């Protein structure tokens, strides 16, 4: 069974929002953030609100909780919880409702728990606020719910502070806190977005398990179509404060009606590996036995050494893309930063066009820098906010003696290549969207005519439709200019889409290395297999609105 196909028509309605409108009353023009949306969630049902940033999906959840930021106001409609309209309720009445009848978990488990209170106390606080249970009973129920969310060594964790727990454990604590009073409705706002893919899978399974056990209605907010495919009964696709389409999950994924839904689904990269680019003999980057060890401590303090990269070796030929895939803490970014010489490797060789740059001094490095460029993850911070785009673009060429006029002409040409109007050059970064800024950052790197481009999670912060465009741009530049790309990512879909070769890293070590098609289709290492199995929605080919097996039947390999 690919999707959930349970029918809830007979189940009682847990929550319904009717013509819910939220606006910004103090902003000129009073823009509407939610434009009269209708959502219905029945007992035991999971409704996914899916959309890109700015679609209003989080505002919907906060409106239900009565926790909208001050600038936002509900301007119309109804929010009915088991038939009771929540909007006329007083603050005190809303407080009584929260956690007891509607609970919420958030995106960032790292910051959502109070860092100075023990997690056991934080769970018990919910019962202190809403029940008259005795201290012993509160404790018993807290431990019980902690066991239900499958936390290990519950007595120890009960006494722990949040910083002593991993992200996945913290999200389990959040879930325990949300469900301890058995609320009617659980709102989960991107609860797995900040987690690694293997942890995400466990959390999704846990939510599903507890939902079945307690019959909770779940409003699940996500931007990730894979997650939708995994857990949704019903899907509402949101765009600019409106629900453009809703229906059972299979109907939405197989027969999307709205253009926007089709476009959104078509942007989801396929897990099926691309056809590899032609192999050449021209090795531009060869990394051998690269090690990076952090720490060791000072005189008064012994810190445990961290082996962030262990004997990493690979080579890359002109015009090809190598993916370095791994979860957080795998050492993939350490490798990237070593190659860029933003940090100094502890040992090993980094040969760029035959020259070992691993140990070169700052001055000795300069002639080689231009052949090695980088694009970072965060488009908001990768351009100097005080500089015009032109200034940012010509900074590199001027450093290498290109006349300003020539550099400006090239900058203007590249704006066209990356699909931005030429007058963008006179503007400042804050005048562009995230995707546009990432194009500019790519243009800045390309200005140097590099042989190797290191892209460190370069599309991870972007919405899926923008992500598709940026990946397309990278592919095109590679074809035109023969740049070799080292692509660091945590996202297997993106890796499958763009990489010819893949390295899988875990705790600083390369556990698997091979052609992308080979590694993704027939993973040899158990960790790679676990990664692939954890990829949400891996059985569905979103771009073609059919299952992967149907796709394989259509195109036999």
Partner 1 sequence: MIGYILRRILAVIPVMLLVAVFVFALLRLTPGDPAAIIAGDMATPAQLERIREAMGLNQPLHVQFVTWVGQLLRGDLGTSLISNTPVTSMIGARIGPTLSIAVLTILMSVALAVPMGVIAAWKHRSGADYTVMAFSVLGFSVPVFVIGYVFILIFSLKLGWFPVQGFTPISRGIGPFLYNAFLPALTLTTIYVALIARMTRANMLEVLGEDYIRTARAKGAPERTVLFRHALKNAAVPILTVIGTGFALLIGGVVVTETVFNIPGIGRLTVDAILARDYPVIQAMILLTSFLYVLVNLVIDLSYTFFDPRIRY
Partner 2 sequence: MAQTPEPRSAMQPVLSVIRLPHFGIGPKIAAVVLLAIVIVTLLANWLAPHDPLTMNPLMRLQGPIEGHPLGTDNYGRDILSRVLIGGRLSLAIGIATAIVAVALGLVIGMVAGFFRTADAIIMRMMDALMAIPSILLAIALVALNGPSVGSVIAAITIPEIPRVVRLVRAVVLAAREEPYVEAAIALGSSMPKILVRHLVPNTLAPLIVQGTYILASAILTEAILSFLGAGVSTETPTWGNIMAEGRQYFRLKPELILWPGLMLSLCILSINLLGDAARDMLDPRLKKRAG
* CB distance 414 to 446 below 8 Å: yes
Give me the residues paired with residue 84 across strands. Answer: 81
Site for partner 2 contains 355 (CB under 8 A): no
DSSP state for residue 419 in the 8-state scheme: T
By the rule CB under 8 A, 240 interacts with partner 1:
no
Number of H helices and E strands in the chain, helices first, is 21, 22
By CB neighbour count within 10 A (0-12 exposed, 13-18 middle, 19+ buried), where does 254 fall?
middle
Query: Which C-beta is closer to partner 2: that of 441 or that of 516?
Result: 441
x-marked contacts with partner 2 along 381-420 as a string, rule CB under 8 A: xxxxxx-x---x--xx--xx--------------------
Q: From the list 118, 214, 310, 370, which residue makes contact with partner 2 (rule: CB under 8 A)?
A: 370
Among 30, 71, 117, 135, binds partner 1 (CB under 8 A): 117
Please identify, using beta-carbon distances, which residue of 112 and 448 lies nearer to partner 2.
448
**Contacts (CB under 8 A) with partner 1, residues 152-171:** 161, 163
Q: In what order do the strands lie in the sheet with 347-352?
A: 355-356, 347-352, 283-294, 306-317, 509-515, 501-506, 321-325, 484-489, 452-456, 372-375
CB 313, CB 322: distance < 8 Å: no
Site string for partner 1, 53-82 (x = CB under 8 A): ------------x-x---------------
SS3 assignment for 205-244: HHHHHHHHHHCCEEEEEECCHHHHHHHCCEEEEEECCEEE
CB atoms under 10 Å from CB of 164, counted, come to 13
| Contact (CB, 8 A) for 348 and 287 | yes
Least Å from the CB of residue 442 to partner 2: 11
Closer to partner 1 by Cβ: residue 173 or 358 = 173
**Closest distance to partner 1 from the beta carbon of 90 (Å):** 12
Choosing among partner 1, partner 2, none, which partner's interface includes residue 386 (Cβ < 5 to 8 Å by kind)?
partner 2
Residue 428 interface partner, choices partner 2, partner 1, none, CB cut-off 5-8 Å depending on type: partner 2
Q: DSSP string covering 130-189, please?
A: H----HHHHHHHHHHHHHHTT-SSHHHHHH--GGGS-HHHHHHHHHHHHHTT--SEEEEE
Nearer to partner 2, 397 or 536 (CB): 397
Whichever of 65 and 420 has its CB closer to partner 1, that residue is: 65
Question: Rule CB under 8 A: which residues touch partner 2?
Answer: 340, 342, 362, 366, 369-370, 372-374, 376-378, 381-386, 388, 392, 395-396, 399-400, 423, 426-428, 430-433, 436, 441, 444-445, 448
Question: Rule CB under 8 A: which residues touch partner 1?
Answer: 65, 67, 92, 94-100, 103-104, 106, 108, 111-117, 125-126, 129-130, 161, 163, 174, 177, 300-301
């Amino acid at each position: 069974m690919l999707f959930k196909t349970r029918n809830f028509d007979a189940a009682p309605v847990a929550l319904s929002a009717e013509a819910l409108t939220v606006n910004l009353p103090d902003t000129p023009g009073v823009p509407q953030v939610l434009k009269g949306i209708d959502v219905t969630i029945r007992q035991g049902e999971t409704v996914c609100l899916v959309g890109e940033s700015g679609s209003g999906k989080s505002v919907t959840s906060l409106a239900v909780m009565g926790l909208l930021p001050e600038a936002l106001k509900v301007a119309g409609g109804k929010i009915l919880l088991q038939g009771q309209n929540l909007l006329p309720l007083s603050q005190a009445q809303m407080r009584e409702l929260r956690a007891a009848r509607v609970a919420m978990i958030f995106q960032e488990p790292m910051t959502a728990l109070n860092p100075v209170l023990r997690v056991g106390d934080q769970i018990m606080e919910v019962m202190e606020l809403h029940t008259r249970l005795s201290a012993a009973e509160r404790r018993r129920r807290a431990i019980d719910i902690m066991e239900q969310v499958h936390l290990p060594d519950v007595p120890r964790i009960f006494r722990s502070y949040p910083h002593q727990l991993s992200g996945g454990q913290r999200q389990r604590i959040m879930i325990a806190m949300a469900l301890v009073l058995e609320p009617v409705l659980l709102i989960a706002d991107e609860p797995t977005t900040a987690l690694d893919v293997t942890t995400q899978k466990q959390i999704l399974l846990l939510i599903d398990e507890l939902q079945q056990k307690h019959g909770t209605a779940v409003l699940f907010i996500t931007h990730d179509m894979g997650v939708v495919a995994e857990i949704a009964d019903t899907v509402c696709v949101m765009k600019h404060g409106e629900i453009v389409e809703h229906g059972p999950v299979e109907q939405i994924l197989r027969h999307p009606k709205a253009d926007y839904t089709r476009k959104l689904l078509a942007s989801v990269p396929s897990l099926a590996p691309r056809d590899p680019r032609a192999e050449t003999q021209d090795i531009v980057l060869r990394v051998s036995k690269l090690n990076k060890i952090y720490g060791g401590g000072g005189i008064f303090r012994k810190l445990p050494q961290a082996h962030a990269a262990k004997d990493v070796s690979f080579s890359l030929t002109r015009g090809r893309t190598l993916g370095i895939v791994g979860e957080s803490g795998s050492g993939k970014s350490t490798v990237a930063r070593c190659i860029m010489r933003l940090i100094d490797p502890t040992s090993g060789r980094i040969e760029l066009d035959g020259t070992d740059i691993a140990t070169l001094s700052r001055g000795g490095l300069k002639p080689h820098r231009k052949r090695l460029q980088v694009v970072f993850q965060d488009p908001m911070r990768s351009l100097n906010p005080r500089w015009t785009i032109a200034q940012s673009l010509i900074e590199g060429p001027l450093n290498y003696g290109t006349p300003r006029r020539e550099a400006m002409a090239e900058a203007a040409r590249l704006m066209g290549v990356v699909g931005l109007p030429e007058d963008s050059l006179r503007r400042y970064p804050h005048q562009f969207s995230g995707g546009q800024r990432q194009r500019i950052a790519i243009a800045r790197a390309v200005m140097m005519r590099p042989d190797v481009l290191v892209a460190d999670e370069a599309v991870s912060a972007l919405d899926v439709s923008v992500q598709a465009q940026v990946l397309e741009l990278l592919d095109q530049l590679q074809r035109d200019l023969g740049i070799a790309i080292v692509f660091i990512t945590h996202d297997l879909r993106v890796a499958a889409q763009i990489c010819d070769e893949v390295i899988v890293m875990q705790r600083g070590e390369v556990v698997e290395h091979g052609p992308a098609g080979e590694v993704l289709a027939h993973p040899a290492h158990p960790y790679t297999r676990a990664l692939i199995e954890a990829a949400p929605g891996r059985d569905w080919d979103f771009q073609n609105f059919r299952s992967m097996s149907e796709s394989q039947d259509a195109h036999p390999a």
